[in-house]
Amino acid sequence: MDSDYGVPRELSELQKKRTEYQPELPPCLQGTTVRVEFGDSTTCADPSSANVISRAFPHTFGQPLAHFLRATAKIPDAQIITEHPPIRVGIVFCGRQSSGGHNVVWGLYNAMKIHNPDNILLGFLGGTEGLFAQKTLEITDEVLATYKNQGGFDLLGRTVDQIRTTEQVNATMKACRVLKLDGLVIVGGVTSNSDAAQLAETFAEDKCTTKVVGVPVTLYGDLKNQFVETNVGFDTVCKVNSQLISNVCIDALSAEKYYYFIRLMGRHASHVAAECALQSHPNMLILGEEVALSKLTLFDITKQICDAVQARAAKDKYHGVILIPEGLIASIPELYALLQEIHDLQDQGISTDDISSHLSPWATALFQFLPPFIRKQLLLNPESDDAAQLSQIETEKLLAQLVEKEMSNRMKEGTYKGKKFNAICHFFGYQARGSLPSKFDCDYAYVLGHICYHILAAGLNGYLATVTNLKNPVNKWRCGAAPLAAMMTVKRHSRAPGAIPIGKPAIHPVSLDLKGKVYELLRERATSFLMDDLYRNPGPLQFEGPGSEAKTYTLSVEDQDYMGRMKMLQEYLDKVKSIVKPGVSQDVLKAALISMASVTEVLSVMTMPSFNGHQPL
Amino acid sequence: MDSDYGVPRELSELQKKRTEYQPELPPCLQGTTVRVEFGDSTTCADPSSANVISRAFPHTFGQPLAHFLRATAKIPDAQIITEHPPIRVGIVFCGRQSSGGHNVVWGLYNAMKIHNPDNILLGFLGGTEGLFAQKTLEITDEVLATYKNQGGFDLLGRTVDQIRTTEQVNATMKACRVLKLDGLVIVGGVTSNSDAAQLAETFAEDKCTTKVVGVPVTLYGDLKNQFVETNVGFDTVCKVNSQLISNVCIDALSAEKYYYFIRLMGRHASHVAAECALQSHPNMLILGEEVALSKLTLFDITKQICDAVQARAAKDKYHGVILIPEGLIASIPELYALLQEIHDLQDQGISTDDISSHLSPWATALFQFLPPFIRKQLLLNPESDDAAQLSQIETEKLLAQLVEKEMSNRMKEGTYKGKKFNAICHFFGYQARGSLPSKFDCDYAYVLGHICYHILAAGLNGYLATVTNLKNPVNKWRCGAAPLAAMMTVKRHSRAPGAIPIGKPAIHPVSLDLKGKVYELLRERATSFLMDDLYRNPGPLQFEGPGSEAKTYTLSVEDQDYMGRMKMLQEYLDKVKSIVKPGVSQDVLKAALISMASVTEVLSVMTMPSFNGHQPL
């Protein structure tokens, strides 16, 4: 098996052309000097969790932000690293394959060789299994030749995707020591980067000199926070899916006889589905976040779709396209409760055949109501995380069946007088996540790879590579690093003010923000999307000409430049200091004190653990 | 509903750019003169059917081939049409939506307006239903503006897709007379063009002056014969599907734990699946034509796949991609027989619930053996043709289940010692057929649209617009028209020599040629595809740069220039005539006679109805 990794392979004309594409570097990463400026020490978004997290991560919580600066930047405090002794770094694909992953390897390799040709980059073969077993492939120009700007994770492969048990952590530490690694780069999503944070803390505790760096690579787009604007792979998967969705829309409009129910891979959050809806304008989008907030039942959702079908029928329209995020099933309260009961029983070791007889009476009733195929899918065992199981549950078929039944009831009762309702179901995911990466993902991943080197050269441990200001051209991108521990949250059982955080701190997937601009855009256009068939076809992913430079709506409409604003705040504070120097008039000093007192008062209230309006970003 | 057709709509950046693309015309169609050369009168490929067809199509069988020539061509017999009185033409989308259909309308409109600005083109709204109901939309520059080079059939829509019953034929004739149409252009595949042929014959019989013209537009690529090299939409659908298949291949190789079973829309024949396999190199392709020839049972196919899985497991490979054409189910002898029994019972009006109790004992046993979901799908009612039903039968899931069962049996028996077999199933079709058309399909469809005008200007009835030499650049394309009746065949019950043709003549879908070069290529590489994971990613459809000019293997490897050869034969015959003019020596005349006698002898034997080696096309 191993002998297949990193082998050169036959490429199509387009693949060959793509291998020749050289991503641009932002000015701050050009040259052979690393200049790093450290900001203030970090906290986390939810003040009430800070204590819990700092206790769990004594070595790595509270580290400062790092900004990488261009060689000519006039920042007095910037640390300039000109010495680059040879280092050895290992890199491992840890999450699900996302387009662009190969470019992280290439970017890191390139940065390492620029700074010292004796640097060695080792790729772990077969993901975390290869890491535990110390199976490596030295990355070289030859190895990379046919993988530059290409999709998949097949250069190195991936496997169990977790480094969590004591055994796994110990095997990892052993590998790092045996291979004499100065750095370990972990490529993955929320789960993998939570593991990376834990690993960094354990290494620091155990005086293992290997520094751990995370890279945000996940097609789900749910590793979002103050420091991370988007993830590698999200742009590509949304573009490929949007192409397919809009092809289906055009198909629906041509034949005018089918409703297409399309489920989109994307884990719990609805980022992929929301972005695809903005790109392709399907008739309906059922957001898991909305369902969870309004506590909509399966029956409510069915009714909502049926009413839409009926409203369209009144305009003589018998076709339509409905998007469903794969996380929807876990957002429907009664189904979530049922899934929880099933998982608890599975954890107790009860066999699949016996589970249904152990359910509570209420859960039994719901279970029996569901069609057999869904029952079978609900009983599947969750894998490393439950994303794999979610992708096996055909929510789109469940909804299509329920809608079909309800429409034929309405027909019998005479409340619906239109034509028979016909549905065709799709699940889009696997066919998108192996795609050739978009130009954006090629660039973003390559730059992140470079940043990993800069993080290691600065001697940082437990950091995630970050690029901000991404909606602007590459030459405006800001490069930095943020402590993984600053991205952590602790789950609570209740949303009440003062509720006590429970559970282990972790980087959690972030849901679609129902107060954000993406959602606002979707709400604004929902009625016209539903009734007017404003289907839009972004077309197949292009690498040249129109559309090739397009960015996601998610990135473009949100005003996300948190790191930029942090710097701006620093500038304001510095300005106050420089204006109110000793010697300044009494009046000016008084004015400054009054103003600053009111500012600090407001901010203190807003950051009190019991503050009611508190919303972690 | 009607008010939505032809409305301008919001286009993406790429869609807009595509509306600006102007397809090239081959030299023979440039200018404002139509020059047509008629060849000899046509027969059909199967000599034994000629009588049956000529009796059924007395007015339209045996018409000559037509070649459209460039204005400067020095062909003495060419008829030059310089007068272009205003004409009225109707166009109807009659088959399933195929990328490029809109360009047939545009090409025809463009040709009509070039030759006489008073020409009127009417599009029938909502396909054949609109034709019967005389609902039209006058095609104008404004109407076309946002549909040029765009996918789908949504400019005009499509519906029942047949013009077959007396009522339908009469409604069509009435529409043509009321709307005073000089021409009716039917856009579709084998079924629609069979209907077009029948319509042309009926119109001629009933002295209806409307001329009927067919255009080969079908993503299935199964309207192939001496005159037709490929169909509009085939190129696009194969490219889009190949992109998705290769994304799945890369996905499989990245995670190394799943077998993907991918079923491809494509009706009975395996053209789409074969072409996609050549573009993307999946591990296995199960061809319906092979299965039918070797009379493989469901059990045989399952065993074949299991053996492959086992051979790969021996090399520590637990992933793979298997392509299945949707027509496969009808190629498996026992399933075909079962489907026939079910259809017969449905024709007898037996209700779905009762069918299983009316099956023969043998069919009952097979039916009960099949998983419930397949049973349900087999009982679905066929629509206008049975292609719609085929797309609803999840053969990929049936095979995946059977393979899973057999692999776990082998595991229990200890004959298989590898890891557990895991399958994920896909059906690709709807998400491809609405795609933006490839450059090839844009050009091909546009040129065919132009040819439709030339056919009508030449006063021809019952012809199909044809372009040959398609594997070469547009400026080498040969444009012509061939009588639809010459493409007909009559089915026989037996393959024995001298078997009597039965049934109505029709244009039948052509299966993948197991003696052709496409199949030869696939056979040659089958073992390395199976074992070596030579996955190739043609990438998303490009409109500029590398890959944008690529043509299908099906078109490129086959040596198809039948029309060119016909012309070459004519040149040889003319040469013999010009060499052996009266006055030539006795020796030369003798030599010519002896040679020609032997040539005609061989050809006579080959075209005898009972000739054993006979192979249509």
- B558 phi-psi bin (left φ>0, alpha ψ -120 to 50, beta other): beta
- Nearest CA to CA, how far is B34 from chain A (Å)? 34
Strand order in the sheet with A320-325: A284-285, A320-325, A259-264, A423-428
DSSP state at residue B122: E
Please tell me which of the candidates A152, A539, A546 has its beta carbon nearest to residue B253. A152
CB–CB contact A544 B540 (8 Å): no
Least confident of B279-293, B408-422, B562-576: B562-576
- Which residues of chain A does B129 touch, with a Cβ-Cβ cutoff of 8 Å? none
Mutate: best of B253, B373, B383, B426, partner A, most A CBs <10 A: B253
Name the residue type at position B426. Answer: H
User: Average of pLDDT values for A545-558?
Assistant: 88
Amino acid (1-letter code) at residue A560: Q
Lowest mean per-residue pLDDT among A386-390, A561-565, B33-37, B396-400: A386-390
| Cβ separation B255–A158 shorter than 8 A | yes
> pLDDT-based confidence at A611, cuts 50/70/90?
low
How many angstroms away from the CA of B99 is the closest CA of chain A? 10
Q: In which band, very low, low, confident or very high, does the pLDDT at A576 lie, cut at 50, 70 and 90?
A: confident
Q: Which of B157, B430, B541 sits opposite A260 (nearest CB)?
A: B430
Per-residue pLDDT, A221: 95
The pLDDT value recorded for residue B609 is 66
d(CA A591, CA A595): 6
Summarize pLDDT for A232-276 with one digit per residue, the tens: 999 999 999 999 999 999 999 988 889 999 999 998 899 999 999
pLDDT level of residue B2 (50, 70, 90 thresholds): very low
Q: pLDDT per residue over A434-473, tens digit each?
A: 999 999 999 999 999 999 999 999 999 999 999 999 999 9
> B402-406, B418-422, B490-494: lowest mean pLDDT where?
B490-494
User: Residue B505: CB partners within 8 Å, gap ≥ 6?
Assistant: B49, B52, B53, B56, B57, B485, B488, B489, B490
CB contact under 8 A, A550 and B317: no
Q: Chain A residues with CB inside 8 Å of B10's CB?
A: 281, 534, 536
pLDDT reported for residue B149: 97
Q: What residues form DSSP beta bridges with B183?
A: B89, B211
Asked if A538 lies within 8 A of B14 by C-beta distance, the reply is yes
Q: Which residues of B touch A154 (CB under 8 A)?
A: 250, 253-254
The band of A152, judged by pLDDT with boundaries at 50, 70 and 90, is very high
User: Out of A139-143, A238-242, B273-277, B374-378, which region has the weakest mean confidence (pLDDT)?
Assistant: B374-378
Residue B615 above 50 pLDDT? no
Query: Which residue in chain A is spatially nearest to B392 when comparing CA positions?
Result: A424
Which of A17, A18, A128, A254 would best serve as a mutation to test chain B binding (most B beta carbons within 10 A)? Answer: A254
Instruction: Work out the pLDDT band at A61, boundaries 50, 70, 90.
Output: very high
Q: Which of B218, B232, B103, B240 is nearest to B547 (CA)?
A: B240
Residue A389 pLDDT > 90 = no
**Which whole number is the average pLDDT over B443-454?**
98
The closest of A541, A539, A548 to A246, measured between CA atoms, is A539
Q: Which residues of A touch B260 (CB under 8 A)?
A: 430
pLDDT for B355 beyond 60: yes
Residue of B nearest to A316 (CA): B1
Give the pLDDT band (50/70/90) at residue A524.
very high
Three-state SS annotation for A551-587: CCHHHHHCCCCHHHHHHHHHHHHHHHHHHCCCCCCHH
- B540 to A152: CB separation less than 8 angstroms, yes or no: no
What is the value of ipTM here, to two decimals? 0.85
User: Do B543 and A542 count as a contact with CB atoms less than 8 A apart?
Assistant: yes
Q: Which among A443, A457, A446 has a CA at the least distance from the CA of A68?
A: A457
Task: Report the alpha-carbon distance of residue B135 to residue B132 in Å, rounded.
Answer: 8
Confidence of residue B603 (pLDDT cuts 50, 70, 90): confident
The whole-angstrom distance between B9's CA and the closest CA on chain A is: 7
> How close A360 gets to chain B, by Cα (Å)?
29
Nearest-angstrom CA–CA distance, B96 and B223: 13
CA closest to B239 among chain A residues: A540
User: What mean pLDDT comes out for the span A196-218?
Assistant: 97
Q: What's this model's pTM, rounded to 2 decimal places?
A: 0.89
pLDDT at B328: 94
Asked whether residue B553 carries a pLDDT value surpassing 90, the answer given is yes
Cβ-proximal residues to B582 (8 Å cutoff; 6+ apart), any chain: none
The pLDDT mean for chain B works out to 90
**With an 8 Å Cβ cutoff, are A545 and B540 in contact?**
no
Q: Which of B153, B433, B546 sits opposite A14 (nearest CB)?
A: B546
Cβ separation B537–A17 shorter than 8 A: no
The predicted model gives B403-415 an average pLDDT of 96
pLDDT tens per residue, range B530-542:
999 999 999 999 9
Closest by CA position to B309, among listed B246, B403, B412 = B403
A310 pLDDT higher than 80? yes
Percent of chain A with pLDDT over 90: 68
Pairing of strands A463-468, A478-483: antiparallel
Q: How many CB pairs under 8 A join A and B?
A: 220
- Given a cut of 80, is residue B472 above it in pLDDT? yes
Residues of A with Cβ-Cβ distance to B102 under 8 angstroms: none
Alpha-helix runs per DSSP H in B206-287: 234-255, 271-280
The span from the CA of A336 to the CA of A341, in Å, is 9
- Nearest by CB to residue A154, choosing from B1, B253, B542, is B253
Cβ distance of A256 and B157 shorter than 8 Å: yes
Q: Are the Cβ atoms of B254 and A158 closer than 8 angstroms?
A: yes
Buried b (16+ CB within 10 A) or exposed e, B354-366: ebbeebeeebeeb
Residue A578, pLDDT above cutoff 80: yes
| Sign for the pseudo-dihedral over CA of A524, A526, A527, A531 | positive
Nearest Cβ partner for A537 among B126, B436, B538: B436
Q: Which of A159, A243, A251 sits opposite B430 (nearest CB)?
A: A251
**B7, pLDDT greater than 80:** no
> Angle formed by the axes of helices A166-178 and A190-205, to 10°?
70
Q: Flag if B1 and A317 touch (Cβ within 8 Å).
A: yes
CB contact under 8 A, B154 and A254: yes
Chain A closest CA to B236's CA: distance in Å? Answer: 11
Taking only the tens place, the pLDDT of each residue in A320-350 is 999 999 999 989 999 989 988 998 898 888 8
Compute the distance between CA of residue B154 and CA of residue B152 in angstroms, rounded to an integer: 6
The percent of residues above 70 in pLDDT, for chain A, comes to 94
- Nearest Cα neighbor of A508 from A269, A183, A190, A193 is A190
Cβ contact A14:A21 at 8 Å = no
Write down the mean pLDDT value for chain A. Answer: 90
Q: Given A250, A315, A431, which is nearest B248 (Cβ)?
A: A431
